[in-house]
Structure formats: structure tokens, C-alpha cells
């Protein structure tokens, strides 16, 4: 935690060039317009996790403008989710509600750290679409290396706005659920909140515009505070930070050095390895899986490699709750098994038996000493 973020008198903020570069890089990856002129504003509100009494954000002139993200469905269709903007702002402190039965603690360690907030248009219609959208955003950020995608640790969080309406009606009053940190919880929260709003409206009531919290234990939402409108924050340009002007040549240089992104890699897998859209989508969902597959496919037929990576390896990893980085089987080992099938030296059944023998997860044994049980000799 810095003295700036603890709101100590006399400390002034400074724009971090690396953070600006990461925002531009992400904007280009989201097919969005990069604004060469942007302004930092003060967003004024009082809450325990904000020692300054205001948050440095961007309101009228964000660093990134309109873009889009495409989500793909299993039936082969796709849908564009429009991006309104991406802006840079200070993160607030972390409220800890589970440390004491009657008190809330505030952890200021992340306070003031720059974050990117991506705002989308209300194009998402179902919990599954929301999950697919977050998964795609996470995938793009990880390919770009602008976020590690760790939702459990809070590197990536979602604030979900939910409203319900009858077909053809105007959008209803929305409630915002804050700080959801897993795709599973995002879906659960949307399901519960939508049902709650429908029940209120069918009983003749009206929806209050609230900021909500989602209780992961009960699977229910509860109001945290009334949701403010933009004018309630009294935005004005931060007097300690000049407007940010970036050169187009710098933006072009960042764009020219972007890595291959998920959609590009997916299309290449379809064309180069003759994979189905679904298989290519599964393999390119995260960069580690894509890299693993390509290593396997170097020495055997691509379609057969995809079947084994997805059905056999991913299936076992999911069962053992392991990531691809913790795979007990290397790409070379899997490729050697597939090559034996390809050359017709072994059958598919024998190959599966061989796979089972080669696939050996590490078993962590408890260390002797503190916390271990030792039988006494009589």
C-alpha cells in the first residue's frame, strides 16, 4: 500500500505508462477504437474502502472506445457483444465480511492499483451467454498477457447488471451485483436475481435500483446500498492529472506486435488441422491448452491429436481437478501414443490402456513430523 492510496496529505498521483500501454493493448485486442485524447476524473463517493473520498477514474473521455467480442455457441452460431468502453481507474480497498461476526474489515493493499474496467452494452440475454462472454474476455486478456485471468484471487472480477422485461418492452430497472469472482457464481447470481425481480413484478411491486452482494453459501443476493446514477458521483477532471494524449504511431506499434488472439488461432486450427469449430474453440479457450495441442500435433495427425487431447487428457485432468500446466503427461508422451495408433502398431483400446499407465498424477504424501501421526511401539 502506498501513501497516496491511504490518502496521506501531500501525496500526488502519477500516471503509469505501463498501465496505459496495457489498456491500449487490450483495446486493440477487443477490436475497439483507441482514443488519442483521454481525461482522468474524480468520482466522488464515500465508502469505507476509499480513504480519499473519491476514486480517480475516466468518465466522458475514456482511453478506449467502442469495440466488440464474439461468443460462439455449440450449434455453430455466434453472437457479437458490443463493448461500450474500457477505462482506467484506481481500485478500491477490499472489504472483508467474513473475518468477524459483527464487523467488516478493509484491506487497503490493492487500493490505488490501476485497473481496467470493460463496460458492455446490454446484449447478453441468458446466464450461459454471460458465462461465455466472461470466458472470452478472460481468454483474450490472457493471450494478450494483460491479465493473468485468476478470478479466485481477484485479478479478474465481474460486476453484473441485471434487469427483466417482457418481450418488446423497454429495459427494466437494473440491479448491479458486485465483485463476482467465478463464472459459476456469475450464472448462479443471474439466475437468482432474475427470478427475484420477476416474482416482485408479478406480485405488483417495483424494482429498486440497488447495488447487490451475492452470498455464495446461500446462492442468494441481498441489497448492499442504493445504486447511484452518474450525476450522483459529481465527476470533474482530476486537478492533479493533466489530460492524456498518446501518439498514433505508438498505438500502431503496439497493434503491430500483438500476439495471435483466440479467434485468429481458432481459424488457423480449423484450416491447418481440419478441426471442427467446436474442437478448435475448446483447444483455443486458453493459451496453455492451445500450446499443448500444437506440441502434440507437431509429430502426429492434427484431428486425431485433438480427439485425444480433448476427450482423454482434458477428461482426466478435469476428473483430477488439474490444470493443463500440471498435466502428468507431457505433449511428447501423448504424441508418441497417438503416433503408434496412426502407424497401426497398436489399437485404440491398447492406446487407452497405455495412456492410463503413462498418466500418473503426483500424490503428495504428508511429511513426518508436525501434524503427522506416528504409532507408538509397545
Q: Are 41 and 238 in contact (CB under 8 A)?
A: yes
For residues 23 and 89, what is the distance between their CA atoms, to the nearest angstrom?
A: 11
Residues 6 or more apart whose Cβ sits within 8 Å of residue 193: 162, 175, 177, 212, 221
Phi/psi of residue 244, each to 5°? -95, 120
pLDDT value of residue 157:
93
Asked whether 175 and 227 are in contact (CB, 8 A), the reply is yes
Residues in the chain: 378
286, three cell numbers: 486458453
Q: What is the pLDDT of residue 176?
A: 95
Instruction: Specify the pLDDT at position 104.
Output: 86
| 298 phi and psi angles, rounded to 5 deg | -65, -30
Which letter does DSSP use for residue 47 in this model?
-
Alpha-carbon span 109 to 262, nearest angstrom: 33
CA 356 – CA 372 distance, rounded (Å): 31
pLDDT number for residue 373: 35
Q: Per-block average pLDDT, block size 10, for the chain (378 residues)?
A: 62 89 97 97 87 90 96 89 96 83 85 91 96 96 94 91 93 93 96 96 93 92 78 89 96 96 95 93 93 94 95 93 92 94 90 90 53 40
Q: What values do phi and psi take at 105, rounded to 5?
A: -95, 155
User: Among candidates 249, 260, 229, which has minimal Cα distance to 59?
Assistant: 229
Maximum CA extent, the chain: 81
The full set of domain ranges for the chain reads 17-241, 261-358
Q: Nearest-CA neighbor of 146 among 56, 35, 258?
A: 258
Nearest-angstrom CA–CA distance, 73 and 246: 38
Q: Is 365 helix (H, G, I), strand (E, B) or coil?
A: coil
E strand spans, 168-243: 175-180, 210-215, 220-226, 236-237
- Sign of the four-CA dihedral 324, 327, 330, 333: negative
Nearest by Cα to 116 from 152, 91, 84: 91
- The pLDDT value recorded for residue 6 is 64
Amino acid at each position: 500500500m502506498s501513501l497516496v492510496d491511504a490518502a496521506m496529505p501531500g501525496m500526488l498521483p502519477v500516471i503509469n505508462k505501463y498501465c496505459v500501454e496495457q489498456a491500449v493493448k487490450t483495446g486493440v485486442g477487443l477490436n475497439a477504437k483507441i482514443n488519442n485524447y483521454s481525461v482522468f476524473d474524480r468520482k466522488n463517493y464515500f465508502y469505507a474502502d476509499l480513504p480519499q473520498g473519491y476514486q480517480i477514474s475516466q468518465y466522458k473521455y475514456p482511453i478506449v472506445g467502442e469495440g466488440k467480442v464474439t461468443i460462439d455457441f455449440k450449434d455453430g452460431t455466434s453472437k457479437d457483444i458490443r463493448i461500450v468502453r474500457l477505462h482506467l481507474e484506481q481500485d478500491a480497498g477490499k472489504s472483508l465480511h467474513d473475518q468477524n461476526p459483527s464487523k467488516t474489515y478493509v484491506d487497503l493493499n490493492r487500493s490505488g492499483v490501476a485497473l481496467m474496467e470493460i463496460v458492455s452494452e446490454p446484449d447478453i440475454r441468458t446466464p450461459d451467454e454471460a458465462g461465455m462472454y466472461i470466458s472470452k474476455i478472460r481468454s483474450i486478456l490472457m493471450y494478450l498477457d494483460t491479465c493473468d485471468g485468476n478470478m479466485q484471487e481477484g485479478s479478474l472480477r465481474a460486476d453484473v447488471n441485471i434487469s427483466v422485461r417482457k418481450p418488446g418492452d423497454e429495459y427494466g430497472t437494473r440491479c448491479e451485483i458486485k465483485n463476482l469472482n467465478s463464472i459459476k457464481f456469475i450464472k448462479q447470481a443471474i439466475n437468482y436475481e432474475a427470478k427475484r425481480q420477476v416474482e416482485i413484478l408479478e406480485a405488483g411491486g417495483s424494482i429498486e435500483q440497488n447495488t447487490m452482494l451475492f452470498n455464495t453459501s446461500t446462492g442468494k443476493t441481498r441489497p448492499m446500498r442504493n445504486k447511484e446514477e452518474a450525476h450522483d458521483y459529481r465527476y470533474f477532471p482530476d486537478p492533479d492529472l493533466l489530460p492524456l494524449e498518446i501518439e498514433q504511431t505508438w498505438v500502431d506499434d503496439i497493434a503491430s506486435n500483438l500476439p495471435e488472439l483466440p479467434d485468429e488461432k481458432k481459424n488457423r486450427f480449423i484450416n491447418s488441422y481440419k478441426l471442427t469449430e467446436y474442437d478448435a474453440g475448446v483447444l483455443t479457450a486458453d493459451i496453455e491448452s492451445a500450446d499443448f495441442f500444437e506440441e502434440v500435433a507437431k509429430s502426429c495427425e492434427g484431428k486425431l491429436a485433438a480427439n485425444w487431447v480433448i476427450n482423454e487428457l482434458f477428461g482426466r485432468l478435469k476428473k483430477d481437478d488439474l490444470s493443463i500446466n500440471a498435466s502428468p503427461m507431457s505433449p511428447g508422451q501423448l504424441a508418441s501414443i497417438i503416433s503408434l495408433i496412426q502407424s497401426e502398431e497398436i489399437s485404440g483400446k491398447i492406446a487407452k490402456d497405455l495412456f492410463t499407465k503413462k498418466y500418473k498424477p503426483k500424490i503428495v504424501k504428508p511429511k513426518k513430523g508436525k501434524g503427522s501421526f506416528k504409532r507408538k511401539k509397545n
